[in-house]
A and B are shown apart, each in its own frame.
Chain A
């Protein structure tokens, strides 16, 4: 069976050059970077070169990069670290309603420890309004965290404006850039964010490694205790193969971002256009223009997302959904709900995230498969039958009566 991977928002395949760069560090270069002998120095050199490459790719200084186990740890370290360091100055925190759970749940945990958290709303495209940030800021606000690009709907936030507002007020600004790195240009020389989280496996690097950018001079408390690694912010022997892989991946990811993004956006718009044109009752979720080049998120009415995913998977198409049934909880996606979608529309959401290996043929093939699956599921969907009945006989209101008249 032909299989097409359209879930690059979940994870990406490793770039072959990344794997190649990592391999020696599973074998002959095994030293502990903290050891002073030649084995250790060899490892230390690779670690610091990786830090330099990562910093260079972001427009940061090497000393501003802390390697972590991934995006979640970077988010936790940033948010809890600032809360810990500045709790004497204030206890008010601001974030947005559509953050990843790594951010949202960290704030939720802090709100149980005596911090006050303001959630900024979003418009129907999932965009934060900078004016809302201005009115939410208080004298005791110590941290604002807004993601650069949303993982579900792909909406790009006005991070430059939001971070500038915070800079002028002297409030720390953190951004979860896990979905953004490699997809949109990020230059920390110009962007006034104080902390930024990233994760290697979202840009064709290995899983289990990420980084937190901490601008020089930013006060950050300690969450972990142990050795002196990563400026004591992230003690523990470094995941050197992973770190080397992250550095290689980010080095490759930032080459010609505008060119790569334009090509992917063209593919994305082809996919969105086909879905909207060829399937009835489909709506695009997220912003029509200000969105990640590879993100497609649509709600296909009258089908339920998990059922659709399952059917697509059985036909070789890998996708994801914001349906409650896929989340493990009984609630549909908090992102879609924050955008004002009703439950039914949220349950019918389908996320397709493109990668560099996808082609126009992949997109066209996927559309054909999706059309077939939607038709099959709608054929047994009570909601679709009700909708058709209402559409076909606009005069007869109730379904029960029309059912009898058809007898």
Chain B
């Protein structure tokens, strides 16, 4: 049901783990649908210098978290804000239809982390 790229990101997740001194954090999801993601970002000169994630969820949730972190590392905050959940799914080569809405939330978590950072520096 998952393609090879999704399986690769699930098996070898990029940037998984906690960040102890993040510039911003964003959490999305709920227990009812079974996927909860938290994105940590470190921002320097308006760029995402480092990013990591913690995810409780299905294969699609873990793979999309991993893919997102790979996509936005080094990007400016404005560039990162433009990335959508669909972009993440497309870079994974697609996700099963049922997973597109429930487990594909990584970009939302990232946007929350950026907002969190911006609210702190203002």
User: Is A325 located at the chain interface by the 8 A CB criterion?
Assistant: yes
Identify the A interface with B (CB < 8 A).
302-304, 306-307, 310-311, 314, 323-325, 328, 330, 332, 342-344, 347, 377, 379-385, 400, 403, 406-407
Q: A380-B62, A382-B38 are in contact. Are A303 and B21 (CB under 8 A)?
A: no
Stretch at the interface among B8-16, B76-84, B85-93: B8-16
Identify the B interface with A (CB < 8 A).
2, 7, 10-11, 13, 16-18, 20-21, 25, 27, 31-38, 53-62, 98-99, 102-103
Please tell me if the beta carbons of B13 and A380 are within 8 angstroms of each other in the complex. Answer: yes
Q: List 28 A-B contacts (CB under 8 A).
A: A302-B56, A304-B34, A304-B35, A304-B56, A304-B58, A306-B58, A307-B57, A307-B62, A310-B59, A311-B10, A311-B11, A314-B11, A323-B34, A323-B58, A324-B34, A325-B102, A325-B103, A330-B102, A343-B31, A380-B53, A380-B54, A381-B55, A381-B56, A382-B36, A400-B25, A403-B18, A406-B20, A407-B20
Which residue from chain A places its CB closest to the CB of B19 in the assembled complex? Answer: A403
Which residues of chain A have C-beta atoms less than 8 A from B10's C-beta? 307, 310-311
A-B CB pair tally, cutoff 8 Å: 78
Bound CA span A332–B59, Å: 16
> How far apart are A294's CB and chain B's nearest CB, in angstroms?
26
Bound CA span A306–B36, Å: 14
Bound CA span A314–B11, Å: 9
Which residues of chain B have C-beta atoms less than 8 A from A381's C-beta? 54-56
Which residues of chain A have C-beta atoms less than 8 A from B20's C-beta? 403, 406-407
Please tell me if the beta carbons of A382 and B55 are within 8 angstroms of each other in the complex. Answer: yes
Bound CA span A344–B35, Å: 10
Which residues of chain B have C-beta atoms less than 8 A from A347's C-beta? 31, 34
A sample of 10 more A-B contacts (CB under 8 A), given A310-B7, A325-B58, A343-B32, is A304-B35, A307-B10, A307-B62, A342-B31, A343-B34, A377-B62, A380-B13, A380-B16, A382-B38, A382-B55
> How far apart are B37's CB and chain A's nearest CB, in angstroms?
7
Which residue from chain A places its CB closest to the CB of B66 in the assembled complex? Answer: A380
Which residues of chain B have C-beta atoms less than 8 A from A324's C-beta? 33-34
Please tell me if the beta carbons of A307 and B59 are within 8 angstroms of each other in the complex. Answer: yes
